[in-house]
Amino acid sequence: MTAVSEQTVAWLAKFTAQKCAEPWVQQLRDEGFRRFAELGFPTTKNEEWRFTNVAPIARADIAPLFGAGKIPQEAQAQLAKHASIDRNAFVALNTAFLNDVVFFQVPRGEVRAEPIRISFQSAAGASPLQVTNARSLVVVGPDAHCTIIETYEGTGKYFTNAVTEIVVGDGAVVDHYKVQRESTEAFHVATMQVTLGRSANFSSHSIALGGALVRNDANATLSEGTEATLNGLYVVNGRQHIDNHTQIDHAKPHGTSHELYKGILDGHATAVFNGRIVVRKDAQKTDSKQTNKNLVLSGEAVINTKPELQILADDVRCTHGATIGQLDEESMFYMRSRGIGREQARSLLTYAFAQDILDRIKAPALKEHLGKVLFEKFHEHGG
């Protein structure tokens, strides 16, 4: 038996142990598992996973957690219609274990003042690796406004396999945040799949601070006149590894997309940024900008950054840029020449690098909270 089939056999036992679901759910599960069994866990030979080795997850003795199995009927129309199981084994696996779905629906034209909060708390169990297949679906009606805040936290060693589908109606405005503060021993693999209607406005900020092994796929498909922003901040230290793959699919004309991902790497941490932008043949007048900036604080940290542009239309504007740098020596000297110690100067400049992303956060309470969290994080080494 090959390693791949051994791994899927272990999952098959867990899969069949699930309580039966309603036929439409069971069908999704079956399709998910079948695809997972075909794909197996990706290896570093797969270009999409070249720098992220998921062997620690694939080899683990696993214990999936089953929820109460409550999936609202209203979710049926959209659930698993956006996050495709075809190419991503983790999405397929998540779909195979559809049990609980966090489901929100914002009716047409409603302006929702209070943020939609999606929160997953995990903790290590006994020896097998506890797996949470976190699944969320938010359907925002045309011309509605809302804020979504996803939070992932936990203690000890566990595996969160998350899939979030967000469907945004024509003319709707959605402000999305993902705050990932998993434990530094945890595995976190997540796909966010966003489908945007005509003239919709969607912005997302992914703040990733935790996890030992993290992979985020943030994908958005735009329609005509859609405006999408995908921003991110990742802060890694020790032996943390984080991989951010984004895909912005300009399927229709007159779409605008902005992307700014900033990374702070210290210790022996490694990070990946892969930003794919697809401009389809009839997506004329697309305006797209992608930037990835990295601050590397130690000689041992490694960043792999790559833009991936597939442009099939001819009347478009697409720009991209990536930088990798250290703390500015002149700024360090300026601060020290005023009496500020080396460690404090380093912390302040690191915080300043992250500030750029914090400034773009519109939800006031979250902004303040993250400001404090980051300030403390950067000052924990001295000051």
Partner 1 sequence: MALLEIKDLHATVGEREILKGIDLTVNAGEVHAIMGPNGSGKSTLAQVLAGRELYQVTRGQVLYDGKDLLAMAPEDRAREGIFLAFQYPVEIPGVSNMYFLKAALNTIRKNKSLPELDAMDFLNLVREKMKLMDMEQALLNRPVNTGFSGGEKKRNEIFQMAVLEPRLAILDETDSGLDIDALRTVAGGVNALRGAERSMIVVTHYQRLLNYIVPDFVHVLSEGRIVKSGGKELALQLEESGYAGLGIEDEEEAVGKR
Give the footprint of partner 1 on this chain (CB under 8 A). Answer: 328-331, 333-342, 344-345, 348-349, 351-356
CB 297, min distance to partner 1, A: 16
Q: Could you tell me which residues come within 8 angstroms of residue 104 by beta carbon, excluding any fewer than 6 positions away?
A: 116, 118, 137, 138, 139, 148
Cβ distance to partner 1 smaller for residue 105 or 355: 355
Secondary structure of residue 34 in the 3-state scheme: helix
Cβ distance to partner 1 smaller for residue 78 or 344: 344
Q: How many other CB atoms sit within 10 Å of the CB of residue 213?
A: 22
Cβ distance to partner 1 smaller for residue 212 or 361: 361
Would you give the DSSP letter of residue 65?
Answer: P
DSSP secondary structure of 297-358: -SSS-EEEEEEEEEE--SS-EEEEEEEEE---HHHHHHHHTTT--HHHHHHHHHHHHHHHHH
CB 293, min distance to partner 1, A: 12
CB 232, min distance to partner 1, A: 17
CB 361, min distance to partner 1, A: 14
Nearest Cα to Cα of residue 238 among 305, 151, 172, 297: 297
Cβ distance to partner 1 smaller for residue 74 or 356: 356
Cβ distance to partner 1 smaller for residue 320 or 379: 379
CB 298, min distance to partner 1, A: 19
CA separation for the pair 217, 163 (Å, rounded) = 9
Cβ distance to partner 1 smaller for residue 188 or 262: 262
CB 331, min distance to partner 1, A: 5
CB 258, min distance to partner 1, A: 19
CA separation for the pair 337, 110 (Å, rounded) = 54
Cβ distance to partner 1 smaller for residue 66 or 333: 333
CA separation for the pair 137, 118 (Å, rounded) = 10
DSSP secondary structure of 112-167: --SPEEEEEEEE--SSSEEEE--EEEEEE-TT-EEEEEEEEEEESS-EEEEEEEEE
